[in-house]
Amino acid sequence: MAPRKILLIEDNADDELLTLEALSELAIQHQVQVVRHGVNIVEHIISKSDNNQADSARTNSTTLPCLILLDLSLPYLSGIKVLQNIRADKRTCLIPVVMLTSSREEKDRINSFTYGANSYVCKPIEYQHYIDAIKQIGLYWLTINLPVTDRIH
C-alpha cells in the first residue's frame, strides 16, 4: 500500500513540530506535507488546475491528501476561508478536514461545522495530551475511517 498523504496547515512552529512528532510515532505509512498559511494551500491544491490541463493531471486524486489537519488561526487567510475553498472545489470537497485549533469558542466550532469540517479538536496544552490527541486523530482518519476512494474530478 502506498503511503497516505496528510496535509498539515499550521503556522505555529511548535505545534507543527509536536504534530509531526506524534504522527511519526504511528505505525502507519504516511507522508506529511506542511503549509504555513492559507494562501499557500489555496494556490497549492485548489487553483493549480483551473487553466491548464497539465496542472490538472498533477492535481488528481493520487496527489491529493487523504486528510487535512487545519489550524483555525492562520496568517493572510483564515482557516475558515481555507475550509470554504476546500469544500467549494470538486477535487477537494470530499477530503476529510480536521480543525486543529486552540479556540474553544462556540462560534468557531459552529462556523467550522457549518462550512464542512469533519471534526473539531482543541489543541491540548500539556505535551503528552497533545501527542495522544494527534495519535488518536491519525489512527482514526488513517485506519478506522473508510474514505471515499473515487473523488469527484
Domains plus CATH for the chain?
4-46+59-144 (3.40.50.2300)
Residue 87: CB atoms within 10 Å: 16
pLDDT of residue 34: 92
What does the DSSP 8-state code read for residue 144? Answer: I
pLDDT of residue 32: 93
pLDDT of residue 148: 78
Of the candidates 48, 40, 107, 104, the residue with the CA atom closest to the CA atom of residue 74: 40
81 CA to centre of own chain: 13
pLDDT of residue 110: 98
pLDDT of residue 42: 66
Q: pLDDT tens-digit profile of 13-39?
A: 999 999 999 999 988 888 999 998 877
pLDDT of residue 45: 66
Alpha-carbon distance 151 to 121, whole Å?
25
Alpha-carbon distance 107 to 113, whole Å?
10
Tell me the pTM: 0.85
End-to-end Cα distance, the chain: 23
pLDDT of residue 54: 44
pLDDT of residue 46: 58
Query: Which residues of the chain, if any, have pLDDT below 70?
Result: 1-2, 40, 42-62, 149-153
Residues in contact with 151: Cβ distance below 8 Å, sequence separation at least 6, in sequence order = 61, 64, 91, 94, 95
Q: Is 76 left (phi over 0), alpha (psi -120 to 50) or beta?
A: left
pLDDT of residue 43: 66
Residue 92: CB atoms within 10 Å: 22
